[in-house]
Amino acid sequence: MERRDFLLGVGAATVQSQLAGERLCQAAADGSSSIRFVAGIRIVDTKIARAADELSQSVSPRYLYNHAMRTYLFGSLIASAAELAFDEELLFLACILHDLGLTERFMGTKPFEIESAFAADTFLRKQGLHPAKAEVVWDGIAMHPLAISQYKQAEIKLLASGAAADVVGAGLDRISPAYCDQVLHAFPRLGFKSEFMATCAEVVRRHPASTKGTFMRDIGERKVTDFHPSNICDAIEHSPFSE
């Protein structure tokens, strides 16, 4: 990002934050208070969004629920910076439910993102979401750890971008520091780095078959000398958030 654009972004964020002061509600330290806007982003409050939010809160440890909320907020802020239009409700549903497969209730033998996608799809269809919209949520959740997500429609791309911003700090340079601070204040990280990796490790321990990745990595580890693939743990530990 050019320094001029960065400074303009910070200035715009400051002005917008001041103008939006009356409608911007900050959460308590545990993220439990009722919030309508954070960093200028509206928290979706439709009937189905409230139901999905309640499900996420009921099955997720607080650190994981807060991550889901930050994913939505960061994804929305990235969309704003890119002037990218998206369906607000669909993005919220996908983000708030995208890690169900890491919870005690929904983890299983499939990769966590697939377990999450199926759990979200079943829940949302029972809530009356149109099948075509439920399919977008399924695809977004199932694809969010994959590079292909960046070549799909806006809601799928933004879920992946929001999650990447929160987990490893990718794309945070597109969001003003003032807005980042508001997101983190509203939904604190609560030791996200260590808690998230511990949760993922527990899923691996219980369901080792769920970890199967691309076959190219398997071939590289066996057949390519000095092949040292990157490890997500390093990226998480070196993300720009202090905890």
Q: Evaluate if residue 3 carries a pLDDT over 50.
A: no
The interaxial angle of helices 62-82 and 154-168, nearest 10 deg, is 120
Give me the residue spans of the domains in the chain.
46-169+191-237
User: Does residue 5 register a pLDDT over 50?
Assistant: no
- In the chain, the N- to C-terminal Cα span, in Å, equals 26
What would the pLDDT profile of 139-149 be if each residue is shown by its tens digit? 999 999 999 99
Alpha helices in the chain (DSSP H): 3-19, 47-59, 62-82, 88-96, 112-126, 131-143, 154-168, 177-186, 192-206, 215-223, 232-237
Q: How many alpha carbons lie under 13 Å from residue 86 in its C-beta half-sphere?
A: 30
The DSSP code for 148 is G
The residue type at 23? R
Residue 31 confidence (pLDDT) above 60:
no
What rounded mean pLDDT belongs to the chain?
87
Annotation: CATH topology of 46-169+191-237: Hypothetical protein af1432 (1.10.3210)
Q: Between residues 7 and 68, which one has the greater pLDDT?
A: 68
Name the band, by pLDDT with cuts 50, 70 and 90, for residue 35.
Answer: low
Please give the model's pTM, rounded to 2 decimal places: 0.84
Greater model confidence, 55 or 36: 55
